[in-house]
Amino acid sequence: MTYQHKKLIELSDILGFTFTCKECGISISIPTGEKEPKQGRLNKCPACDQEWMVTGNGQSNALTMLRNAFRAFSENSGGFRFALEIPAEPASGPASSGKD
């Protein structure tokens, strides 16, 4: 007999999107239920002015689509439950410092 463990995260488990600056390490979180951040709010780090993402570029547009996807699946009225699957065991190794 084979057992398979799966670890699933439902969208309601995800509290927000976190951005960590690669330069200074500061993190900011935007709750998933929060309104769209003002245009340009994520263009640069609020602490050290490191460039983050440019309004209208691929990452900025992807963030908008991701937020829309969260909203669509959270309001899902279909006959299924949507979840994200993650590794059953935590990844080994040192925790990421947020720097490359």
Q: Catalog residues that contact Zn ion under the rule CB under 5 A.
A: 21, 23-24, 45, 47-48, 50
Q: Which CB sits closer to Zn ion, 14 or 54?
A: 54
Residue 25 three-state SS: coil
Q: Which residue has the tokens 């963030």?
A: 63
Q: What is the smallest separation between the CB atom of 21 and Zn ion, expressed in angstroms?
A: 3
Residue 77 three-state SS: coil
Q: What is the smallest separation between the CB atom of 52 and Zn ion, expressed in angstroms?
A: 8
Q: Which CB sits closer to Zn ion, 47 or 84?
A: 47
Q: Which CB sits closer to Zn ion, 81 or 99?
A: 99
| Residue 53: count of CB within 10 angstroms of its CB | 17
Residue 68 three-state SS: helix
